Chains A and B, each alone.
Chain A
Amino acid sequence: MQPQPQRYMPPQPGYGPPQGYPQTPGGMRPPGPPRPPMPGGPPGGLPGGPGGPPGGLTAGVAAMNIGSPLMSASAGAGLKSPQGPPGPPGGPRTPLGPPRPPGPPGAAHNGLHSSPMPPAPGAGPQSNGAPSPGGPSLQQRYPTASLPGGTPRAPVGPGASPQPPTRPPLPGQPGVPASAAPGPMPPNMGGPGMRPPMTPGAPHSPMPGMPPSSAPGMAPTGPGMHHSPMPGMPPSSAPGMPPSSVPGMPHSPMPGMPPSSVPGMPPSTMSGMPHSPMPGMPPMPGMPPSSMGGMPPHSPMPGMAPPPTSSASPYGGAPPMPGGPPMPGGPPMQGGPPMAGGPPMPGGPPMPGAGYPPRPGMGHPQPGMAPGMAPGGQMAGPRKLDPDQMPSPIQVMADDQANRSGQFVTNLKGQVPPLTTTQFTVLDQGNASPRLIRSSVYNVPVSPDMLKQTNIPLALSIAPLAELPDGEQPPPVVDLGTLGPVRCIRCKAYMGPFMTFIDGGRRFSCPFCKASTEVPQEYFQHLDHTGQRLDKYERPELCMGAYEYVCTKEYCRNNEFPKPPAYIFVIDVSYNNVKSGLLHLLCNNVKEVLRQLPIDVGQSASSMKVGFITYSNVVHFFNCKPVLAQPQMLVVGDVQDMFVPLVDGLLVDAAEAEAVIDSLMEQLPALFVNTRETEVVLGPAIQAGMEALKAANCSGRLFVFHSSLPSGQAPGQLKNRDDRKVLGSDKEKHVLTPQTQFYNNLGQECVQVGCSVSLFLVNNSYVDLPTIGQVVRLTGGEIFKYTYFQAELDGDRLLRDLSRAVSQPVGFDAIMRVRTSTGVRPVDFHGHFYMSNTTDMELAAIDSSQAVTVELKHDDKLTEEDGVYIQAALLYTACSGQRRLRVLNLSLNVCSQMADLYRSCELDTMTNLMVKQAVSKVLDSSPRAIRDQLTAQCAQILASYRKNCASPSSAGQLILPECMKLLPLYANCILRSDAVSGGPELTIDERSFHMFLSTSLPVRRSVAYLYPRLLPLDTLDVSEPADVLPSPVRSSQDKLHDQGLFLLENGVHMFLWIGLQLGPEAVQDLFGVQSVAQIDVDRPSLPNLDTPLSIRVRGVIDEVRRQRQSHMKLTVVRQRDKLEVVFRHFLVEDKGSDGSASYVDYLCHLHKEIRALLT
């Protein structure tokens, strides 16, 4: 084994290790091998590896890779969390607890780890990076395979997966490991730090398993974790867990665990730990063990590559499941585990136990371990780093999909949910679905210090009205009649699953403010012997995380029940829009669009009203009262002081007034066919819509179809200040800041009325979006942009976007408040809304495609017993006019160990916040400062991990926590995104569009937005159903080839890249022409050909659009066409044409920063 890894190493300097893994994957055994190497390696390896790395490290890059592997490991852990729950094996944990103590060893570990780590990194990374290709998959498979066979798993688990390892590690660390480990560890290190354990574990008992595990090790970590969790299955997890726990617990846990854990496993793990450590560990010596034993392995995993797998898994397992719960115990993760996680997770018990222990252990050890990686010799070769060795989001997603798809039960506190890309279904058992609310951290540090030290953002991304996939029930609606929602007397929190009833059910105590409130008589119910209300499972608000209340009048504006909301189409009818065909297009299709008005639950037809306003330099209102023979047009020329000229008839029921609307739609184009008006107003048009809603006393949304800079004499008149050259420079904020406050004020006024504004921009010149977009931002609207709109080319796209915008679930006149239990509180808010105070987000409307991101801060210390409770309440008017309150509850764990924190991070949510933060800084900071700040934050996150959680390793090694192994990549993506750093190649409007867009992105979309998906279409299997997507490849030019056909999309843009050598048959099938050169690249769609390939490709495109819920424009790019530059801009792993760093370069840079921080 060693040889191999080493070889790899050499070939791929810093990355070597990772590669090694990957390669190893070939024989999952690698793990096995690794160890060998480890042992040997560690000693020698370490020196050598590390040493080498160091040298390489200088380059810094190498480290990175390594890190990632480690990361993966942790990630794995996270995944396991689910298992954790099962972990209930309180027993085990407890035991673990003790192990933890060893924690201290951790320190030692660190030292040790450091050395081991290096190797690990090397390995780890490889595994990760390489893994992605071969390794990972293998690993995954393993896990999977293992899963089937409980035992196998175990092995895997231990080896790859994690849990076993995890636990083992813990125990190992604490106890024996230390001693034994030391010895072994080093060796491990040599190989993959962590791996060793894993491997060991595997080797030992599940040798077979191990190998896989080891191999999987890396991958497994991720996958492994996932799997176990995924399965959620006691069995699988059990196996995995037990082992882990066992391992971790070795002694005590073991016992406890044993039962739960698969015998086989435990032993393996156990043995793994002890043994492996022993064996493998040896090298590790004192430290190693610790690291090894507990988390170290994991962290080291990364470092170790091989170990990572195992360790990773443990981590994974631990973090998620136990992660939180166990954590409580703090050091004695196990202690914790038993706590919450354990108990609840009956099935999982063992798992959790295992998981936990590992974690805790991991936590401590991790530090040492995780970091371990990279530096090694690999580092040395930074320049030659193989991009493929870098942690890959594709791989991570694939792993997550493999491990965590299935059902996600939200019955446990602080469970890290699957990635948004993963297909899973949610079973709401007390916490709201992660589709509705996600946290960046599921294990909140007890004190603010730790957060400050790590610089990990604590944030929630809330998409309260997100659409749920088929198979998931929408939040149930609770109607308590005149009683209204039951609330805490002090903090006004709403009745939810976290409320505890006391005093025989006569009072309830609020987890947010601790106050106890009398239960209203109508609501009283006796408690059963466990202290639960007898009707707990009959009332959604007592047992579910997300539900809705029907509101009483007190929750309504002016204490009156609202009227059904309205959609008003506000159409610019100036020359541009008539010429471009927009007006015709809309008029011809409005009828169809109106059929899609949203229908509320329990309704048979939509009760929403619609209205029409047009404008150019004056504003035209249309009276469409159904009783009229023909529509009436009322022109208001008083744009200085807009008002609504009619009482009723503007807002009508679309079905009742169909005839009049039809006739209006026939008339409209004729009315304006000869217009030559080019001086357009905008402010008054929006005011008109707003006033109309105000007059009708209802809330609603305006769909404004606007064409040009509002230069007409009217409030909100703007001057042209187009100067795209300043984009990207320090002066960019001048053009990105509104030139007048008018639209901000207008937005605020709109919010007061409950009027949301969505803007369809069909401009062909500068419109000063930074200014006019404010009104959209403040009113919870969306911007759709169609530059150089031509009806025949873009009409379909606009109509689809419009249909979606009209039909999507939406709430009006909303107000949202996030309540948190004492100790933390929301401090910063990002998204499209207005705030008039510091706590309430006022959303004129919020729809399913938008999210708000809320940053939390400590304002006090937390206690691990209590955890952190979050309740986001959205008071809104449904499309039927019913006033409802949607309540989302989420509980998080509290940890005192940094490792726990790192194990339960949700990177996607974190990046979601980071983008928004970066965008919000654009206006008052310079691009450079933003870049530096973001890099500094990442560096600190990683450095602090390295310093506090990973085992000591050479400074040259880059160690990444499993959960965050993609952080450098995403950070780079953020920095390269159009929103944050769009330069002169964009127009100001374009840039602004991206800024607004990114501000309201839900996590689901931000992931895609940051890291575009590149789908190879040339290898499509046409026999598959049309909507099956091929596996994406990394967004790098390296993946392209002359014969290729690729689809690139990020939710906003979509490109079809055609290699010049694309086979003529394919060209013929797809485009109906002879050669690539003849393809009409200006077409916005593929010709509708009846060939299998065409059907398949169009199926893919449709599917992508469906997934993104956006009818992205298809831009056809031929290789070497001019447009290719634009296309390449989205290959985010490459060096950008504007000089932005490639993934590899950025990684190196970041590593340098980390090292700077560490010294």
Chain B
Amino acid sequence: MLYFGKQIIEISFALWHLPESLPRGLRGTTFSKMSASITGLLKPWTPRVFLVRWSRYNPYYLEPEPRKEVYHIPETELTPEQKEERELKSVRPIKAATNSVTSSVFNDPVLSKFVNMMMKDGDKIIAKGIITQTLENMKRKQVEKYHKAPEGKKAEIECNPYAIFHQALENCKPVIGLASIQKGGKFYQVPIPLTDNRRRFLAMKWMITECRDNKHRRTLMYEKLSQELLAAFSKEGNVVKRKHELHKMAESNRAYAHYRWW
């Protein structure tokens, strides 16, 4: 935001943060106080003013879309927004796909995020190994349960470890969060709405800290993780309990909800 002059800050803000709600004429625009050409924006770029979160990509670059099926939709079945997006993509440069992203059916962004959060000191091989063992372990347990179950109950048992993982994470996500807001010298815990990213982050964080801290010293990470995920899948276990506690706290602090100003 410091990169552009204050006078056109509303336009720059809109372009940077809310591309969907842009006025029609501003899509596909660029603007630069420094140079009159766009060629300067098409190179690896180091900003003049270093904000805390900056990237080597210019804000002009768009995110890549690595999934195959998106490109096989025929022209007739595209909505007008999708058509406009395609035209915009044809004139804008695209960022490079990261190392952890492929077009394979096994590529799962949620799982990749979970692996990254588990990773310590940049050791992704170990983190990915733990996750693979966890998924295998979950599958084994479920299949064992499946074979032991009577005929009527067999259909209800979910054996796909990815489905279990997603559902467990969904069950762990809090709906409302708390923020520490200072008012009149005291700090109050004020209930606030959470964004999707924040909810997903909290669910994963609780899951990982739970498995690291509250286990017997001899159990391995994958063992504990598979136990917790299966418990969360059936809405039991410590992580889901923690989510419920957060909800109760938010409910009890309802009176301070008006302290939120955004």
Partners in one complex: no
Residue numbers of B with Cβ under 8 A of A are: none
Residue numbers of A with Cβ under 8 A of B are: none
